[in-house]
Structure 1
């Protein structure tokens, strides 16, 4: 057999598919069922290690959102997929396309349920947009191609379960056709589709726009800005918005919608027509009785997400590519004189620097806002300070703000790492509470190992401040203790990530003056652990 070419395997064919679709960076925390695929990866396939599956998926989510195309994830059978479910739910809610390969025991003895056999279909619930368990090994490459299309079209994680022995099996002569070779989507919306929206807006006395994560892009921002300026109407950001759908320093930006029905009705009571573009109608927490809007207010939604269109309680839902549809709509509505938006005050330095026990979070955020470049991506996971952050650090560029759409903690550290790796030309700052950071602190190791120059700004109050406030609101005493013994800076250094601390305004200013100018070019992460007042007023209102 000397000199003869080795027959192509399923792994060879799968690697060709990965190259074809640009899936050449694999985010993983490996297990034994994945060794056959991962060992001796070719030089053009990059491997990125994370120390927990939540970090694996979080990094891939940041990468996919920054590059606006699917990222590749490898998970380890039941344990790996189970650990990653929360992060997969977040990826789905954040519209992050992921191709997820999940390892499985060798199919030749699956019937005996050997050690590491996973009952994987359905383990992630309804969060994957598509799941496939190929019937024979030769279907694996085609299933991966199909998963790429499903992730891209469905804007979420698509799963392919691959038994470990499949990789060494001989490939089929031709890849089974389980996905189209090319997907063509309409470049422009149907003009007739937006006529109903135009009529609804034209017939209104005081319309308004509501934008969300689905509008976070250069074309979408430009189109929505043109529409808002033609209508002269205020633009609100959806509550719990994971990404900015409009420039938040624009004169027509009216701020963030409240998170409960009574305050939502009050905020929108001056408008007789609402168009949600790239946003659901409407995300709320917690539940209160009553309608979402005042009686008589007409509501419509324009989205490219079928599920969002179908579940929205609206008069009219239009499912179309967002930017082209908004451009058509702007051409059809009648122009109006602009009315001043009820926008919050412009960001300014906070005069009250200290609370009873240290720096106020709002002062820390104002100090950051005064220094960062408008092109900075801010990744947020600080629930108790989020309203202050929105008020003081507006998103001024597309992809300028990123948060976990699902609401679960453990997103910011890995997502910021993956985002910086995918977009090394954008400065990235993750503003994280100390409690939030502990859910995926392992991601700091990956940031250091792979040269992701993120500034992780940790607001340390040594407790779950938001949970304490919610318990207080119920008139009860929380049973959980604080965790003042935990040092985030020490944990960071132990994971290979440089760290600094700040407890005074002078120390904070010195650290930010040194760190912020380096953010665009730095290849080493830095954690800045800032002690903040544990008794400061919590800005969050559920």
Structure 2
């Protein structure tokens, strides 16, 4: 009779979950035994890095990804990275080994006490099978829950379950599919189109879910068809619209008052594929400008329910975009080149200004490069200089949790070998996921890691000024040489200083990973 392990492997293969990101402990070995040759196991040296790689992979593929963690301790190590995956709406399927069933109650070593509660409220679903025969069904539920709700799920499995033999009659339990369709009805579409068409000065706001769903080009068509000023929702983890397009007005500020002021004069604000809104720094004020109304279109029912203002339509934004394109006549648009140019970069005094670094990236890297960015103090410089015109070009930690950039870049590169991948990482951020360099070297993942070194938690110093606490300790981190660290993990590395030297290094190509360290002047996010 087939074992639980064999049935689970067959189910995972049938559902294309054959790339596993993990760091195994003793409880996980029985699941990994007899793994078919069609599977690929990607080892990370820390569970936070493991989950970060899987997050990048899931975002780049749009598909569920399996993560294998170790009991309570390993699951706990991954929780910081899990916050980013939750807000990126990454469909991760987290599995963790549990002690044998007879030892859980007496809390034997490596027992995951209260396993189903450990990862809540971060995961959307958490479970532990009631018996060995329930493992295949529970695994299927974990996959379907992650896929349907686009939120990580968690399954703890006692390790003695995997070798249990099951009656073949249980096989149909996992031989099934679950699909979701969420299209608005004709009346809802007609009403929305009429409101947009009747508005005096409507505005578009796109969120990261637009890029996640592969609607980047559709968003451009809609903005051009309606000839509307277009913003990206605050705190973006993906870029849903070209940032040099003549209709692009920028990334909305992440404070209530400044965001409202930015949208002043627009009577209708149509938000597609974004929460309303992901605020960050607390700057109170009106949620919307005087005389404005807001309509949100999102597949995320939770985001619709928790919004503090506006009307919400829980529906597929792609269907709504198509309807608006067909139901509203095209407005007159300006002729000529739809893209503008970047301004001259600011020059640094004692080191390169981040704008000079980003101008070098813009000028030397292929147009379809996918950038994984975790340099939080250089946001303003980034958007001033970069020219991103393709979907899937920008990935950022969705919850602001540090440690995303290095591992996520590896996941993106593994998922999209057809595109160049470059990680822009601050020196403060790099330390949180530094062990990812070993995985990059081990699997020869072709990623360029660009480390911006200013010897400080720059964003934290900016917040210190914002909060009136400029004299707090713990913001200086000078003296770290990332080239030596990278070489210790097996990644070729170099340190550059000037603009010409940086551009020369960026133009060079490598078959595997490489790291470039560049000293930069301290800047602020805004």
> For residues 29 and 450 of structure 1, what CA distance do their matches in structure 2 show?
15
- Equivalent of 1:470 in 463, 485, 498: 463
1:498-513 aligned within 5 A = 498-513=492-507
In structure 2, do the counterparts of structure 1 residues 139 and 176 end up closer, same or farther at CA, with 3 Å as the change threshold?
Answer: farther
> For residues 390 and 175 of structure 1, what CA distance do their matches in structure 2 show?
54
Offset at residue 226 of structure 1 (A): 2.5
1:266-345 aligned within 5 A = 266-338=261-333
> For residues 238 and 279 of structure 2, what CA distance do their matches in structure 1 show?
16
- Equivalent of 2:437 in 429, 440, 444: 444
Q: For residues 305-324 of structure 1, give each alpha carbon's deviation from its aligned partner in whole angstroms, at most 9, with x where no partner exists.
A: 11112222344211112212
TM-score by length of 1: 0.92
Offset at residue 345 of structure 1 (A): 6.6
Mean alpha-carbon deviation: is it higher for 143-152 or for 178-187?
A: 178-187
Say yes or no: does 1:163 pair with 2:151: no
> For residues 170 and 266 of structure 2, what CA distance do their matches in structure 1 show?
55
For 1:41, the equivalent position in structure 2 comes to: 35
> For residues 261 and 398 of structure 1, what CA distance do their matches in structure 2 show?
28
For 2:404, the equivalent position in structure 1 comes to: 411
SS in 1 for 2:133: helix
Say yes or no: does 1:460 pair with 2:445: no
Say yes or no: does 1:532 pair with 2:520: yes
Offset at residue 65 of structure 1 (A): 1.2
> For residues 109 and 179 of structure 2, what CA distance do their matches in structure 1 show?
44
Offset at residue 539 of structure 1 (A): 3.4
> For residues 260 and 339 of structure 2, what CA distance do their matches in structure 1 show?
18
**Structure 1 residues without counterparts, runs of 5 or longer:** 1-6
- Equivalent of 1:140 in 135, 138, 141: 135
1:182-331 aligned within 5 A = 182-186=177-181, 189-216=184-211, 220-331=215-326
> For residues 286 and 242 of structure 1, what CA distance do their matches in structure 2 show?
17
Mean alpha-carbon deviation: is it higher for 193-202 or for 229-238?
A: 193-202
Q: For residues 235-276 of structure 1, give each alpha carbon's deviation from its aligned partner in whole angstroms, at most 9, with x where no partner exists.
A: 100111000112223221111101112211221002111010
Mean alpha-carbon deviation: is it higher for 178-187 or for 107-116?
A: 178-187
Please, what is the CA RMSD of the aligned residues?
2.0
Say yes or no: does 1:354 pair with 2:338: no
For 2:6, the equivalent position in structure 1 comes to: 12
For 1:4, the equivalent position in structure 2 comes to: none
**Structure 2 residues without counterparts, runs of 5 or longer:** none
Offset at residue 213 of structure 1 (A): 0.7
- Equivalent of 1:376 in 352, 369, 384: 369
- Equivalent of 1:30 in 3, 6, 24: 24
> For residues 56 and 424 of structure 1, what CA distance do their matches in structure 2 show?
19
Conserved? CA contact 1:376–1:426, under 8 Å: yes
Offset at residue 332 of structure 1 (A): 1.8
Conserved? CA contact 2:368–2:419, under 8 Å: yes
